[in-house]
Amino acid sequence: MRVLVAEDDSATRSVLAGMLKKKGHDVVEAANGLEAWLSLQQPEAPMLAILDWIMPEMDGLDLLRRIRSIQTEQPIYIIMLTIKGEKTNIITGLQAGADDYLPKPFDYGELCARVEVGLRVTEMRVKLLEARNALAHEAAHDPLTGMLNRRAILNHLHKELSRASRHGDLLVIGMFDIDHFKKVNDTYGHKAGDEILIGLSHILSGSIREYDSLGRIGGEEFLMITPMKPGTEPELLFNRLCNIVSESRINTKSGVLSITVSIGVAYANTKSTVDGLLESADAALYRAKSEGRNRYCIADFSTTK
Ligand SMILES: [Mg+2]
């Protein structure tokens, strides 16, 4: 693990660095507080730091406070090292955010043991964060297509709706449904059906703009949220997407298949709710189906909820 040693006394610093290197750590050395601060701003910054209290440029306590003033999911483990061994100093250091404290002169064996404790805590924090991120990702994504799942895309729609109404922006949603998907499943089997769903998610993800969002809201239903600038025409976008899908070929174990989609489009207004907007898009989708599929229909703006 990468460890920072911030100590202005060069003899102490090189002893500390040598000892940590011997234990297999990658050591970054800093001769004053400012250097230490700068080295913590680098990519792949150290995850454990041993800070001397009295240093030029910026002392250890100021450095500690500065580090702790920054919100981070992965806080660096800090051991303060100092001749300021009085109880009040120890309390000040710990209250400022130090994880551990060792008065000088220190015993190298004890310091090594305390560094090992810090590394164990740091490794545990990393694992917890990874596990939490993996759970959060799993809770928000559809396992088959990797797209946002229903709950996540609807949460996103909720946020986008309030953002758009705050800023007076135009927000449009498109509800996509694969035409005759049941027939695909009945003819080629559910495996091919899954491959179609994955294929379509790739086609759509590759065709949207970076500020558009997509999610799978049901079996063969997808929702697209697209913020638009006033004056831009969603018709062009949805027409293009219909064409891209119908012209694409999807490789499946049952051969190369092609599909079409129908899209129900609805514009949000300042009074729109998530449920109302979905209802309007759904009604437009129903119309697109009844008018022959492989097309988009736009919900009547005056009736959009
Ligand atoms: Mg010093």
Average pLDDT, rounded, for the chain: 91
Catalytic residue among 7, 160, 195, 220: 220
Q: Distance from the CA of 38 to the center of ligand 1, in angstroms?
A: 18
For residue 30, the model assigns a pLDDT of 95
Residues 57-92 pLDDT 10s: 999 999 999 999 998 888 999 999 887 767 888 888
Q: Which two tokens stand for residue 62?
A: 């100021």
pLDDT score for 283: 95
Distance 175 CA to ligand 1 centre (A): 64
Cβ atoms of residues 115 and 79 within 8 Å: yes
Residue 103's SS3 state is: strand
* Cβ-based neighbours of 128, under 8 Å, separated by 6 or more: none
Cβ atoms of residues 33 and 62 within 8 Å: yes
| pTM exceeds 0.85 for this model | no
Q: How far apart are CA 51 and CA 99, in angstroms?
A: 11
Q: What is the CB neighbour count within 10 angstroms for residue 263?
A: 26
Please report the pLDDT score of residue 220 as a whole number. Answer: 95
220 is catalytic: yes
CA 51 to ligand 1 center in whole angstroms: 9
Q: Kindly report, residue by residue over 208-239, the tens digit of the pLDDT.
A: 888 899 999 999 999 999 998 777 788 888 99
Distance from residue 45's CA to the centre of ligand 1 (Å): 22
In this prediction, residue 301 carries a pLDDT of: 66
Cα four-point dihedral sign 237, 239, 241, 243 = negative
Lookup: tokens for 138:
């799993």
CA 47 to centroid of ligand 1, rounded, Å? 21
pLDDT tens-digit readout, 241-277: 999 999 999 999 999 999 999 999 999 988 889 999 9
Q: Please tell me the total number of residues recorded for the chain in this structure.
A: 305
Strand partners, 252: 255
**Structure tokens that stand for 155 in this block:** 């949460």
56 C-alpha vs ligand 1 centroid, how far in Å?
A: 8
d(CA 23, CA 294): 65
Q: Which domains does the chain have, with CATH numbers?
A: 2-139 (3.40.50.2300), 150-303 (3.30.70.270)
